[in-house]
């Protein structure tokens, strides 16, 4: 629950499923680590806590694709109703909701330099990426309250939920039970054995982008030929289940810093780290009350792009692949492509829920995605070379000052690029043939079965995906109630 401590959850099997992708064909065959929450609150209980909704055009785009009721004017009330905004209520924000949204507790020396350098490059200051516009540079907000992480479990599993929900822990859902084309319940196992729950009205699946399509497939709902390959009886041939996987692609440049104010300095100096931990425990301020990802600069990756599609992030650390800080002062400027064209999939590898699904993103399969990643990496390096940010740079560690040729930079993207851990889309909402759920989140061709989680996004949002996932839960709950009353 200490915000900066989330790096300790990144590969912790006690709270994390620790998935990995299949070899990525356009990233030199590398497998990408995929942490997924194995804890109340899901991945939102182990994530980086960034609260970023996306742009109005994202949701208007959903509506234009046939997702009636999911335009910006329709979803904004649910963003507001779930929010308890530290700054107070206004046109874009709400208070009193279950999701605490707060400013970072402290300003950061390098964050201020990052903003000033971005402004020197012509980017305006923006103090609210969830407000009137996303373009600009500024600090992020996080799902924290008074210096502590605030997950959906913290916000929702209290009050009326205590009486309204029977919560079963340490349970693994085996399959959805069906009678013909109707979902009738679920079967699961816990430490006492196999169990079954029968649904009086309907089953609501909220397994997330990897496990919702997996559970549908092992229950016989999905592409018929693939199910037969694993000996699964086909209940309903639905080709789109597990397809349309999307994620944000990130490529970072690392720097050795002359300013000894980074997370690396806390990690490598026990006295300094101990003093800052004491500061957090006493006052809930300082670097332990923040997540280390302080600042964003939103830009357009090219002149033909009409709204920001690239998020350049200042991270107050540089680490090895296991997230262990390097033994010197360092930071990272990470370029993140927010509207990729490349599509992947999630497919079962066996008939059991414990068989990890095959996850493939196909990052950089599309040429436009390569151009965007290259533009973002170049702009991030430009920020580092612009005062006052440049005043804090000793030298660039990776890709290194000598790497300037586009071909070499693209090779660097393939060898060092990462998933931003924002997977969506594998139970696509829509009215097309490849859609899995309709705009009421009902599984096409089935009755009594809905999916309500990030997997239903037809296209990924231009921002971190946790906020939009929570909104989907809020709006999905309202839809269920509306249909029940109707």
φ and ψ of 309, to 5 deg = -130, 5
For this structure, is 422 an active site residue?
yes
List Cα–Cα distances, 187 to 41, 212, 218, 445, in angstroms. 22, 15, 12, 21
SS3 call for 40: coil
Distance, in Å, from the CA atom of 115 to the CA atom of 105, rounded to the nearest integer, reads 17
Gyration radius from the chain CA atoms? 22
List Cα–Cα distances, 354 to 14, 104, 230, in angstroms. 16, 38, 14
Distance, in Å, from the CA atom of 426 to the CA atom of 457, rounded to the nearest integer, reads 8
Task: Out of 108, 236, 422, 444, pick the active-site residue.
Answer: 422
Judge whether 484 and 201 are in contact, CB under 8 Å: yes
Long-range CB contact pairs, 271-274, < 8 A, 24+? none
Judge whether 346 and 358 are in contact, CB under 8 Å: yes
Judge whether 153 and 40 are in contact, CB under 8 Å: yes
Identify any residues that bridge with 148 across adjacent strands, giving them in sequence order.
145
Helices 56-64 and 72-82 pack at an angle, to 10 degrees, of 130
SS3 call for 357: coil
What amino acid positions are annotated as catalytic residues? 422
């Amino acid at each position: 629950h200490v915000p900066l401590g989330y790096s300790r959850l990144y590969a912790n099997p006690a709270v994390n499923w620790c998935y990995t992708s299949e070899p990525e064909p356009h990233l030199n065959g590398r497998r990408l680590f995929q942490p997924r929450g194995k804890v109340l609150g899901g991945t939102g209980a182990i994530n980086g806590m960034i609260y970023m909704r996306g742009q109005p055009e994202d949701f208007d785009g959903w509506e234009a694709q046939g997702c009636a009721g999911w335009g910006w004017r329709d979803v904004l009330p649910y963003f507001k109703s779930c929010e308890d905004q530290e700054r107070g209520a206004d046109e874009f924000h709400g208070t009193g909701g279950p999701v605490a949204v707060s400013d970072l507790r402290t300003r950061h020396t390098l964050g201020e330099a990052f903003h000033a350098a971005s402004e020197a490059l012509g980017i305006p200051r923006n103090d609210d990426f969830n407000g009137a516009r996303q373009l600009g540079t500024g600090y992020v907000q996080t799902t924290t309250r008074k210096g502590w992480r605030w997950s959906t479990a913290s916000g929702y599993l209290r009050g009326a939920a205590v009486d309204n929900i029977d919560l079963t822990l340490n349970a693994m859902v085996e399959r959805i039970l069906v009678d013909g084309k109707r979902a009738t319940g679920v079967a699961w196992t816990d430490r006492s054995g196999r169990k079954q729950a029968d649904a009086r009205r309907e089953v609501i699946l909220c397994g997330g982008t990897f496990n919702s399509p997996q559970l549908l497939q092992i229950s016989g709902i999905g592409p018929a030929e693939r199910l037969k390959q694993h000996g699964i009886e086909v209940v309903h041939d639905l080709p789109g289940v597990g397809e349309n996987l999307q994620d944000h692609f990130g490529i970072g440049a690392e720097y050795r810093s002359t300013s000894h104010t980074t997370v690396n300095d806390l990690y490598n100096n026990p006295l300094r780290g101990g003093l800052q931990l004491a500061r957090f425990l006493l006052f809930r301020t300082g670097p332990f009350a923040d997540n280390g990802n302080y600042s964003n600069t939103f830009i357009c990756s090219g002149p033909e792009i009409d709204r920001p599609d690239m998020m350049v992030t200042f991270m107050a650390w540089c680490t090895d692949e296991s997230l262990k800080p390097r033994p010197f002062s360092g930071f990272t400027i990470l370029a993140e492509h927010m509207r990729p064209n490349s599509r992947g999939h999630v497919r079962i590898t066996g008939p059991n829920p414990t068989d990890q699904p095959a996850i493939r993103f196909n990052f950089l399969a599309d040429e436009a995605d390569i151009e965007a990643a290259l533009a973002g990496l170049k702009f991030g390096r430009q920020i580092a070379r612009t005062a006052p940010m440049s005043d804090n740079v000793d030298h660039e560690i990776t890709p290194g000052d000598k790497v300037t040729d586009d071909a070499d930079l693209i090779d660097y993207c393939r060898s060092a690029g990462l998933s931003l851990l924002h997977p969506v889309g594998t139970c696509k909402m829509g009215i097309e043939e490849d859609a899995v759920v309709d705009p009421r989140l009902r599984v096409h061709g089935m009755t009594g079965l809905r999916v309500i989680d990030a997997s239903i996004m037809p296209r990924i949002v231009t921002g971190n995906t946790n906020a939009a996932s929570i909104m989907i839960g809020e709006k999905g709950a309202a839809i269920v109630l509306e249909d029940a009353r109707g």
